[in-house]
Amino acid sequence: MPCLLKARDGASPGVITFTHNEVLRGAVAQSQDVRDHLARTHADGSWLYGVHIQGDVSAAGVWPLQDWQSFVMWPDLDAPFLHGLPEERLLAINCANLLPEPAETGRERKWDVCVLTRPSAIKRPVTSLRIIKHLVEARPHSEFVVIAHDPRDVTLGRRLYERQAVDREFFELPRRLFTARELARISFIASSTQAFGNLPLASSFVAEILSRSRLLLLTSHSEGTPRAIGEALLAGTPCAVSRRLTSGLNRFLGDRNALFVSDDPAEAAGEMARALEHSGRFAIDADDTRRLFSAAVNVPRLRSRLSALIEQTRRPVTGEWYLEDLHLRLAGHGEKINYQLMEGGGAFFAWLEAAQADAYDEDALVSALGVRDPYERSPAPWRERIVAALPRARR
């Protein structure tokens, strides 16, 4: 859903961002009422609007900048899809630059490799498993950890893998691929999102695992701005990524903080094994990494840029700011649902009213949008309700 960054306050405009998906395909694209509202409230100075780009939009050519868009957020200003856009409307920040920092780094490294992935074929999680297979054979005393949420809705039966775009092999391969002794050296953390929410692991817990790993492995080819890279580097952990990776963070990776590996699992494992044996080749600049990815550093930068945009409208910069948890809120990620408004525009106006009351109250936003809580107990089928009522009738 949109993200409220600053509330309106008298003469001071409020600030709202939309995800690029909402602009290109969702509520903005589908609703003339929403587009009219954005144009009118931008023109009268009551709101400033921005677009948070979080994925690869290069296929659409240059970003279709519209008058109501006061700013566009993407960390790599040299990206081809930003060429020709006014520099003053570009912000070199997005959700990947606003990450919470780990409580501490430099702890004893327990795991050789940590994998943070999603069980979707586009993330190539099975390739990560096959690389680990070669590494576990080459490094007899090493340990590994694989973190991947489990989105499977078992009520869909056999259809779930196709309907939820889940890579079935990721869940079925490990018992066949690894021996019992090898499995004992790999920790799989795959928490159910159906049971525990979209973010079942606290960011502090993930940061601790990253800070105790020697390498993060990311095998996908195409990413927007993969937060796992920023999270790993903030934890002092170098990243092993595919040489074919394209992302908005590629320009920040080099030989001192990353290893670029083959897509062939055996070759990649060999490259990683050699890097692990000579870990001194890596030297992550902690200060530079904080400047790139830390919310503590970049939230003030973001607020300063937005304040300057407001001042350009000759209006005061007053009112409450909502700049917490932007690594999730900007991208529309919630604990219970994905908040991007992708169907029509009616929900936008309900969100606008609810968000100004409390932009951080996810449950209130769910209620205002009329979105059913997926973890709410469903009414029992009518046959079960009748059967359940029979004993009471006899009494």
b/e map of 5-41 (b: 16 or more CB within 10 Å)? Answer: bbbbeeebbbbbbbbbbbbbebbbebbeebbebbeeb
Q: What is the pLDDT of residues 150-185, one digit of tens each?
A: 999 999 998 999 999 999 999 999 999 999 999 999
Task: Classify the C-alpha dihedral 77-78-83-84 as positive or negative.
Answer: positive
Q: Are 33 and 354 in contact (CB under 8 A)?
A: no
Residue 376 lies in a domain: no
Q: Are 213 and 111 in contact (CB under 8 A)?
A: yes
Of 284, 309, 342, the last residue of a domain is: 284
279 and 153 housed in the same domain: yes
- Residue 383 scores a pLDDT above 60: no
337 and 269 housed in the same domain: no
Q: What is the pLDDT of residue 106?
A: 64
- Domain of residue 249, CATH code: 3.40.50.2000
> What total of structural domains would you count in the chain?
2
75 and 131 housed in the same domain: no
Residue 383 lies in a domain: no
Average pLDDT estimate for 90-99: 96
Report which residue type is found at 365. L
Give the Cα separation of 288 and 63 in Å (integer). Answer: 29
DSSP secondary structure letter of residue 264: S
Q: What is the pLDDT of residues 35-92, one digit of tens each?
A: 999 999 999 999 999 999 998 888 878 999 999 999 999 999 999 999 999 999 999 9
279 and 143 housed in the same domain: yes
Of 284, 319, 335, the last residue of a domain is: 284
Residue 374 lies in a domain: no
Residue 390 lies in a domain: no
Neighbours of 278 (CB within 10 A): 8
Residue 375 lies in a domain: no
Percentage above 90 pLDDT, the chain = 76
Q: What are phi and psi of 246, to 5 degrees?
A: -120, 130
Residue 183 lies in a domain: yes
Q: Give residue 181's domain range.
A: 111-284
22 and 94 housed in the same domain: yes
92 and 57 housed in the same domain: yes
**Backbone region of residue 76 per phi and psi (left: phi > 0; alpha: psi in -120 to 50; beta: other values):** beta
Strand ranges (E), 239-355: 239-242, 258-261
Q: Are 295 and 95 in contact (CB under 8 A)?
A: no
Tell me the β-bridge partners of 215.
Answer: 113
- Tell me the two tokens of residue 225: 């701005």
Tell me the β-bridge partners of 333.
Answer: 338
140 and 264 housed in the same domain: yes
Closest CA to 333 of 168, 147, 203: 203
Give the Cα separation of 272 and 82 in Å (integer). Answer: 35
Q: What is the pLDDT of residues 183-222, one digit of tens each?
A: 999 999 999 999 999 889 988 999 999 999 999 999 999 9
What's the pTM? Answer: 0.89
74 and 39 housed in the same domain: yes
Of 266, 284, 302, the last residue of a domain is: 284
Q: What is the pLDDT of residues 330-340, one digit of tens each?
A: 999 888 877 88
Residue 26 lies in a domain: yes
60 and 144 housed in the same domain: no
170 and 251 housed in the same domain: yes
